[in-house]
Structure 1
């Protein structure tokens, strides 16, 4: 009798489907280049080159560590409009990737809405003898910063509507310019420009924090965590303005993406 019982149990175990198979957690990553990872090899195959999605961006690292089913729609140059209403690089708005069965969403957005990295590129060009550098309209940047929290908040609200059971994590921007030290060759800014860019970084982080709090999302404070790893630091998490061929200036490197993945993974636990 005992032998027959053991045999039945063994057979049941053999034919039973794995418990995990039907329970894979669906994860959608949205955002701009600081989420996509342009210039970090290797890039994801089969995705638009203009988006610059890396297989080592923070979403890919988190998904691999946690066994999540990742849909990565991040794209370089994205604004909040590219998430909500406007297609980009031949793709639909990023929000369309979020469905009712989505359980985790990460978002890094808002920098392009206020011209953050664009202003840094312009100053770098001007200060290193570049041509056709353009100008930075500081007034326009400051004006955009007054409403960007509403735009980020609208993205979070849209996710909640489409996936009411999803956990939403909003990742702010890794630190680019030194917080307390002078600028350096890797971040070629005048003292006045450095003060302005610190102001932009601080207000963008505050706007992200405000949007996360208002719209019931989890803030991942990458800006604070990377404060000692700016583009002038001994161990930067950021490419410098004079980046190596194939790399994208003023964007996260592998160490930066891994650090953000650590922050996100810790919160998911």
Structure 2
């Protein structure tokens, strides 16, 4: 094997003086570029040898993989969107008035500044805002079809709704008429507890109509937490505690009917939530047992959370505030709702971040 020196000497012999000059020039070139050729960058750029390609980077169309999504907490699942309060007088705030607007004739749904909704809207930050659409006297059908000239409450719910609270069913069960039948005693009226058969029929119908309402809400807002409130017991079941011509037996019977109403609502809510969970849905339907919310503060006690019978003597009729919560009662309901929002449905929520 010959080296560069032998090759250059041979070139000088063949070309004479010119070969000597050319050989010297080539020697200088080889001395200059030899070290450079040894560099990896030069070998890669000039000869395409020894090149190291950089690792491929994700493009804008293919974002880098992120960590496994984490489940939302119960509060996050309730507050990522908007909050709407639906239902009847127990959600509207009937019975507790603090401002002129609370009693204004134009306030046809009698929504008041003392409704539990206001406490919840202040306590939690809802990314999509909040609104009170409950209407006094509303039944399940009013939620779906409207009342007092207002659009149906169901239309206030949409895919951006993350929390719905609702109390409904008391008017379907006819509790206002039941209470009137117990309190207002005239010779031709039926006894208080003779109304049991009618109430049972109404509760049977409520199972179907309440399921229709909850299905409509969860269809329009499939990721919402829907919190359904039960009703508190109103009477202390002690002699003279009610103060409204009600015996202890009548009070016990009325409280038992409230418990029966709550059980129907609980069962329907649980059935709807089970269907959502079984299908892997993102929302929930949760029941709040409010039966004992006013314990020690029933009608006739020293510090009642519920109004007793209030009579409009000019009209010879009960005032709307009768047997509805006071401001203290709505604060008690707000505490239950707040607790439920924080606790969650007692099962995993299929919502992730």
TM-score, scaled relative to structure 1: 0.80
Secondary structure at 2:108's aligned position in 1?
helix
With over 3 angstroms needed to count, the CA separation of the structure-2 counterparts of 1:67 and 1:244, relative to structure 1, is farther
Partner of 2:133: 73
Higher RCO (CA < 8 A, seq sep 6+):
1
Structure 2: distance between partners of 1:77 and 1:135: 25
Partner of 1:204: 261
1:247: how far off?
A: 7.2
Secondary structure at 2:171's aligned position in 1?
helix
Matched, 1:226 2:284: no
Identify the match of residue 243 of structure 2 among 169, 186, 189: 186
Matched, 1:61 2:61: no
With over 3 angstroms needed to count, the CA separation of the structure-2 counterparts of 1:103 and 1:193, relative to structure 1, is same
With over 3 angstroms needed to count, the CA separation of the structure-2 counterparts of 1:133 and 1:147, relative to structure 1, is same
Structure 2: distance between partners of 1:119 and 1:87: 24
Aligned residues: 242
Structure 1: distance between partners of 2:182 and 2:259: 18
* Higher-Rg member (1/2): 2
Partner of 1:13: none
Partner of 2:82: 26
Report Cα offsets for 1:128-180 as digits up to 9, x if no partner: x7x998987442122112332332222111111000010000011122122x4
With over 3 angstroms needed to count, the CA separation of the structure-2 counterparts of 1:24 and 1:174, relative to structure 1, is same
Secondary structure at 1:147's aligned position in 2?
helix
1:45: how far off?
A: 9.5
Report Cα offsets for 1:29-49 as digits up to 9, x if no partner: 111111111232234699952
Say which is worse superposed, 97-106 or 240-249, in terms of deviation. Answer: 240-249
Structure 2: distance between partners of 1:59 and 1:133: 38
Partner of 2:325: 252
Structure 2: distance between partners of 1:65 and 1:228: 26
- Please report the RMSD computed on the Cα atoms of aligned residues, expressed in angstroms: 2.8
Q: Which runs of 5+ in 1 are unaligned?
A: 1-22
Q: Which runs of 5+ in 2 are unaligned?
A: 1-78, 274-284, 314-318, 343-353
1:266: how far off?
A: 1.6
